[in-house]
Chains A and B, each alone.
Chain A
Amino acid sequence: MATVAESTSSVSAKSADKTWAKPSNLENEPRAFKAPSKYRSSLLNGVSKEGPPSLSSKKFKLRYNSPSGLQDAFDVSYAYLRDKSQELYNKIESSNENKTQLEIEAQINNPEVRFNFAYNDKLENDPQYIDYEQPVYRELLKQDWESKDQMLLMQRLEQLHAIPDTLPTFEPKVPVSLKFLNHTTVNRWIEPGTVLSSNVTAYPPSIKIQELEQVDTKTQLYTVLIVNPDVADIANNTYKTQISWGLSNVKLEYNDNFITPRRLLEDDGSINELIDYLPPVPEKNLPTQRFVVWVFRQPAPINVKLTERDFNIREFVKVNSLNAVGAHMWRSTWDLNVSKVRELYGLPKGTVFHKVRGEKRMK
């Protein structure tokens, strides 16, 4: 990212024509601020005589008449927004206040930024249009996430009792998205809490973790744990928690943060697999099992290997002083594919339970 000093000087140089205050040098105009050319000119210069670029028909272009005074109003508003932005950039230079916040405020009303964010894919982002290295796009994503997906996630975590069954409580800070890339039929992002076939979950999921806050991406490490708190503990007549998969020391970029099979294959050994993947293999006649994906920021590298599946997540979090920032979950129930998955992983045949629960008390 370019420095602030570069940005202000470059803006004043070209402020005569319609260029926005940019946080980068103008020689190589930052691609992140580029809308498609057809719309870009309308965004920067107002609607032309032929009408807005969304008019595709020749007939309607010929018939289009711009409302009187529209162009003047556009120019005045545009200049006002640009000047406000310029003031904020000047403030960044002079004061020692929170620079990221000021930078966000300077860019958040940029029509081009708004356009890029509204009309491009926010999840599988193309850095040419939505560049999460720039704090303003992260802020916009945060607002978008908080308006729906974050609430949906918390609803699922609470109503399905992922909290407090796994961790006591949770304040979500990072959007986590999940996809099973191995499976070509369920080719979609999984909504938190969906019940998935055991065929889909036979191989590890791919997890996208979009950091929103200002962190040092070079050093910040993340841990991903997938835990199943619904494993039958027949001896104690209760349930116990097992770990299905664990990764630690994962580094994430703002734009490159999808943990895929490709990334794990090409990894140079920096990612530590705490324990290899055990797919969901629920038993017949037991209730739906929950698989909770937890994402943590870790203060120091974790290089341990787990040998046992039985797992106390609270203790692990405490020992490694992990900070839970993101979560996701899916559910699995017994289906006809379970026996195939068990065979693939060399697991023993599943226990079959009576349909009706017994009356035996817990100890």
Chain B
Amino acid sequence: MSFLSSTRALGLFKGLSLGPVIQVRTATKKVAGSKTSMKDSAGRRLGAKAAENEPVKTGQILMRQRGTRFYPGENASIGKDHTIYATEPGYVRFYLDPFHPNRKFIGVALSPELRLPTPHFEPRVRRLGYVPIEDEAKASFEEQNLKRKDHLLRPTILKELQERAAKRQAIVEQYKEQLKTIVPELSDNELSIAAERLSNVKNHLKNGVTLPDAQATVTSIHLQDLKLQNKKGAISPEEYETSNSNYLSLIKKVDSSVSFDNKYQLTKFLTPEARQGKLDELEAQLQSLTEGKGKDSKKQLSKVLDMSTLITPAEKKLLHAKYVKPLLPLNHGLAKSVTKRWNYEKKRVEPLA
């Protein structure tokens, strides 16, 4: 202080303005605040709750921990506070897994002699756990017990099934009538088998399957059914042999005398050549109709195509494109004098290519 107050010293600092000097005194005495940090909570009782090879039940806690010091292994799972618990009854195993070299696992082996981890390429060891219901009444009650959704849907499904069965039966009856006229020598039993078969073949055809494939599928199902009936003793082996051969001869007869038209009605069998002949006839008819002009002619053409039971939808489309609405060349309908046209892109008149 005395130094600063001396005039010489003031002269020394001339030209320098120091401004007001602020003094800072830091606290040297502790006031308060250590009260809470001195506290300690009670122990959380962490650690292993089951020892190696100890028998445990489902849900039993194996390890309490902070963070994942251990991971759940086979037949064990982990809770939200990282508690590891058993998901199957078995024997505790603490183990390492070569697929996760930095982790320790706690798992449950299903039988005392098993080691974990289960070898990578071996089938998993699985406990069934489910127990059959011995009481028959209870078992049948349980079997009929449906989930709420299924229970609510049941009446609708049954109704639709009935409707479908009725429709199928109607088609079978219709086919029976048609078969009577096409193959009159069939007996009543044969008639119903053949009609049933044809209605099944129809269903496959509607799915876009080819006729031979559809026939073979239906045949194989029928033969399989016969085989099963024989196996479970519903028919004797002799009966099985006869019905098998009868069916094969019946289908040979039916398949060579019946065809489907484009509305899936039965007609007399058409060989590919005969069909081609009929197609040619149809085309000739269409050709003759195109010679007339105007709307009536188009209407007639469409009508002929609609009425035909011979042609497939694809053939109908082709014939429609050819006769009813033919694709005309680009210069169709232009007067011969028109040689130039407006080019939209270039916005100028250009000669027609």
Contacts and interface: CB of A to CB of B under 8 A. Distances in A.
Interface string B48-88: 00000001011000000000000000000000000000000
A346 B232 CA distance: 5
A358 B130 contact: yes
A182 interface: yes
B123 A237 contact: no
Most buried by A among B90, B143, B216: B143
Nearest to B157: A336
B344 A359 contact: no
Interface stretch (A8-16, A60-68, A300-308): A60-68
B126 A203 contact: no
A239 interface: yes
A229 interface: yes
B132 A184 contact: no
Contacts of B281: none
Interface in A300-333: none
B220 A238 contact: no
A360 interface: yes
Most buried by B among A164, A350, A362: A362
Given A238-B126, A284-B142, A169 B121 contact: yes
Most buried by A among B58, B110, B204, B216: B216
Interface stretch (A75-83, A100-108, A144-152, A260-268): A260-268
Interface string B96-127: 00000000000000110000000011111111
A260 B220 CA distance: 10
Contacts of B127: 237-238, 361-362
A352 interface: yes
A58 interface: yes
A363 B128 contact: no
Contacts of A90: none
A232 interface: yes
B33 interface: no
B12 interface: no
B6 interface: no
Interface in A247-268: 260-262, 264-266
Given A168-B121, A169-B121, A65 B216 contact: no
B131 A354 contact: yes
A359 B128 contact: no
Interface in A46-61: 49-50, 58, 61
B232 A65 contact: no
Contacts of A234: 128, 132
Contacts of A133: none
A268 to B, nearest CB: 15
A203 B224 contact: yes
Interface in A214-258: 229, 232-234, 237-239
Interface residues on A, range: 35 or more
A265 B58 contact: no
Contact of B330 (A58, A229, A266, A346): A58
Interface string B187-208: 0000000000000000110111
A141 B280 CA distance: 41
B353 interface: yes
B128 A233 contact: yes
A352 B128 contact: no
A164 B130 contact: no
A352 B122 contact: no
A24 B183 CA distance: 50
A358 B88 CA distance: 10
A344 B110 contact: no
Contacts of B231: 346
B132 A353 contact: yes
Contacts of A63: 343-345
Contacts of A65: 343, 345-346
B139 to A, nearest CB: 4
The 7 closest A-B pairs by CB, nearest first: A346-B232, A262-B216, A261-B220, A357-B129, A168-B121, A352-B139, A353-B130
Interface of B: 55, 57-58, 89-90, 110-111, 120-133, 139-140, 142-143, 150, 203-204, 206-209, 212-213, 216-217, 219-221, 223-225, 228, 231-234, 330, 341, 343-346, 353
19 contacts: A161-B124, A165-B123, A187-B207, A203-B221, A203-B224, A229-B123, A237-B129, A238-B125, A238-B128, A344-B225, A346-B234, A352-B140, A354-B130, A358-B130, A359-B58, A361-B90, A362-B125, A362-B127, A363-B111
Given A262-B216, A357-B130, A361-B111, 14 more contacts: A168-B122, A233-B128, A237-B129, A261-B221, A262-B217, A344-B225, A345-B228, A345-B232, A346-B234, A350-B143, A354-B131, A354-B142, A358-B129, A359-B58
